[in-house]
Structure 1
């Protein structure tokens, strides 16, 4: 019968001196202390794996790891063995998880996701998504390991956004976080998409499109516009009038270079790469947009040319003329007119669509083409190439005359 090792004592370990060869002091049940010729003392635990082979695992140096601590580590390792595990493999797994926790933070995973997705986004949209993350999400969640983020962490972030009245931004950030967690699960660094469970944590936001007045409200709007024009900057006044007459998207108007506008010519061609669907990185719609210009539109463009015709843009930024103006100028003007929350630059498109159909009697397809809407069904889009150019010319002049008649 093998002789059992006599348990070690602290005094025995302290008295032990280094020899010319490696010395081992055994404590029993596989635990022993190695004393190296250099004087270093290190705890080790010998055990037999499931395949019958012997191996050892280090528990650390003495006295940093005391005798009591080494015995506790031995007990924990023996418990792993009893459960059919391997202490060395378990330690490696814990090390990997620790590295993963510190390496795969929410910011790192979100940045990887953004870099992957931005290839299919327009530069402006990609910038906006990252800007919202940096402003609202990363300050609180960025440093946390993504697999340790809790429901409470997310709720606190979203509530902070809501507290400043940005309910729509909170909703969009919630959707973005859900996509980030989905990406994390697919790449193996998270186990669960917490956002999927969060059905009722945000305050309800009324659904709907961009604010827009109805056809019946147009006369009162025009009266308010006339009353406030004297207080507006010339570019803002002309811009609002043009938006109403041509009803292109706000960005398509304010980003227009003078090279697109031929003086005196009663049409304007917006190149496809400036259109909403042309800016897509994947499968852009490469179709220029035709805008007939009414007499009233030409008059406004003539007035505008006297102001900014020598520069790059129709509507330059007052601080940097090499950049277009901000669409906030139009929103602020509408706010001063008393239409905050009731009308927007984009709302002129909805106003034109409803009024031209209801009051002027034009077919939906004709107005829809002027709005540059594209048929979602690819097959239908391939066969439906009618542009109604002549009818659109007449319609745009009739629309401008109708506005004048209300004035």
Structure 2
């Protein structure tokens, strides 16, 4: 036989031997699929791995299947495809995809910790072990409904946004995967997501009272209080490092601030008390102010605090107990970020100049003033933060006979 030559068997129609360019001889069975009418080829094996008689027996069996209107090659392809799907399913669980997405896309982002927390607290426990190829729209809907019931509709939509990005990232590199997320799954409308919640005076007192009862993590009460007295965002305070402190100023670097600009906060006595002293187990000259990591059984400040969800649930539980014991209605759902908005509102109550209050929040005063006014307003900001601290102190210790909101 010469390369490319085909020899047909006289006993079994369609059974052939073909010589390849490499010199090897392969056996095969040619037939026409009775359903589609297409010519098909079923490989039976190489000469040497299989004898001509063995190949002929396989061809006879295939001929019988074709006579019964079956497609042996199609069934083989489907079996291989199913085996591939099973292999992919075993490897590509939701957890595996989230791990890869976090490593490739999330790490290093300013909001990276929030994305990881959303996955860890809401997604992985519910669908983490599922294969992404088995996910259905109903799985996502159930997930979002449970998050909504547990943490509110806004959190449900944040989880949806993070999962959508992860699944879109997976689709770019995976021909087999199609995201089950579709339009209409969101639990709120854009206007509804713009929060206006601030804490009333009695709610501030409840939060502070509950914080006094929390034993672990030890840094959590100081951390939560800093969100109000410094009007910071969650991660801005959580990642506070002593390298950012210089005398009576705290500079949050632009690399981890929302507007990408350095934000300088004068350290008032109230804030100084929350910063505290050097952790007993810290062997370095700098540390994370709010930390739970230990060395030799003592706090060492090596890593920033990150257990937000668990600690917040415990805080809410204690607040609920306080209000129930006093015969008051449950506290309306609230978030840590509401403290920042509350602080800004308290500055207005304290008659702080609106522009100075906005600068205390790190907001840029736009227009021509943004371009030409390079004065840092540190003295004005210090006065504003001290006014805020005084207002908080008055709320926590109202004058005799004064009514609280």
Q: Verify same fold: TM over 0.5.
A: yes
2:344 counterpart SS class: helix
CA distance in 2, matches of 1:205, 1:236: 31
Q: Over aligned residues, Cα RMSD in angstroms?
A: 5.2
Task: Say if 2:274 is the partner of 1:294.
Answer: no
Query: In structure 2, do the counterparts of structure 1 residues 153 and 244 end up closer, same or farther at CA, with 3 Å as the change threshold?
Result: closer
1:118 equivalenced with 2:109 (yes/no): no
* Residues 1:124 and 1:359: Cα distance change in structure 2 (over 3 Å): same
Deviation at 1:158, TM superposition (A): 5.2
**Offset at residue 168 of structure 1 (A):** 5.8
> Higher mean Cα deviation, 156-165 or 318-327?
156-165
Equivalent residue for 2:9?
24
Correspondence 1:203-214 to 2 at 5 A: 207-208=192-193, 212-214=197-199
Instruction: Return the match for 1:189 from 155, 175, 189.
Output: 175
Offset of residue 371 of structure 1: 1.6
Out of 251, 255, 278, the residue aligned to residue 269 of structure 1 is: 251
2:303 paired with 1:323: yes
Name the structure 2 match of 1:15. none
Computing the radius of gyration over CA atoms, which structure comes out larger, 1 or 2? 1
Q: Alpha-carbon deviations, 1:219-246, whole Å to 9, x = none?
A: x245446755764557555444443322
Distance between the aligned counterparts of 1:350 and 1:257, measured in 2?
Answer: 23
Q: Which residue of 2 aligns with 1:17?
A: none
8 A contact 2:290–2:304 mirrored in 1: yes
> What displacement does 1:350 show?
0.5
Bigger CA drift: 173-182 or 245-254? 173-182
Deviation at 1:351, TM superposition (A): 0.3
Cα shift at 1:189: 1.2
Indicate which of 102, 114, 131 corresponds to 1:141: 131
Structure 1: distance between partners of 2:150 and 2:381: 44
User: Are 1:25 and 1:34, in contact at CA under 8 Å, matched by a contact in 2?
Assistant: no
C-alpha contact (below 8 Å) 1:32/1:45 kept by paired residues = yes
Q: Distance in 2 between the 1:70 and 1:125 partners?
A: 61
**Equivalent residue number for residue 371 of structure 1:** 361
Deviations 1:41-92 (A, max 9, x none): 9552278xxxxxx996536765874735324448879x9xxxxxxx99x899
Q: Secondary structure of 1:400's partner? A: helix
TM-fit CA distance, 1:403: 2.7
Unaligned runs of 5+ in 1: 1-21, 48-53, 80-86, 279-284
**Runs of 5+ unmatched residues, structure 2:** 1-6, 19-24, 33-38, 46-53, 321-329, 398-405
In the superposition, the TM-score normalised over structure 1's length comes to: 0.61
Matches within 5 A, 1:214-363: 214=199, 217-218=200-201, 220-221=202-203, 223-224=205-206, 231-233=213-215, 235-262=219-246, 265-273=247-255, 275-277=256-258, 285=260, 287-298=261-272, 300-301=273-274, 304-305=276-277, 312-317=287-292, 319=294, 320-321=299-300, 322-325=302-305, 326-327=307-308, 329=311, 332-333=314-315, 335-338=317-320, 342-363=333-354
After superposition, the Cα gap between the structure-2 partners of 1:336 and 1:210, relative to the gap in structure 1 and judged at 3 Å, is farther
Aligned-residue offset at 1:32: 2.7
Number of aligned residue pairs: 344
Partners of 1:237 and 1:149 in 2: CA distance:
40
2:390 paired with 1:401 = yes
Cα distance in 1, alignment partners of residues 98 and 291 from structure 2: 35
Matched, 1:69 2:62: yes
Structure 2 distance, partners of 1:63, 1:157, is: 55
Partners of 1:258 and 1:309 within 8 A in 2: no
Is the Cα contact below 8 Å between 1:308 and 1:316 reproduced in 2?
Answer: no
Question: Contact conserved, 2:211 with 2:315, CA < 8 A, in 1?
Answer: no
**Is the contact between residue 8 and residue 15 of structure 2 (CA under 8 Å) also seen in structure 1?**
no
Corresponding residue for residue 29 of structure 2: 44
Question: 2:80, 2:357 → 1: CA distance?
Answer: 60
1:393 deviates by 2.0
Give the Å deviation of 1:260: 3.8
Residues 350 and 387 in structure 2, CA contact (< 8 A), matched pair in contact too: no
Q: For residues 383 and 241 of structure 2, what CA distance do their matches in structure 1 show?
A: 26
Partner of 2:327: none
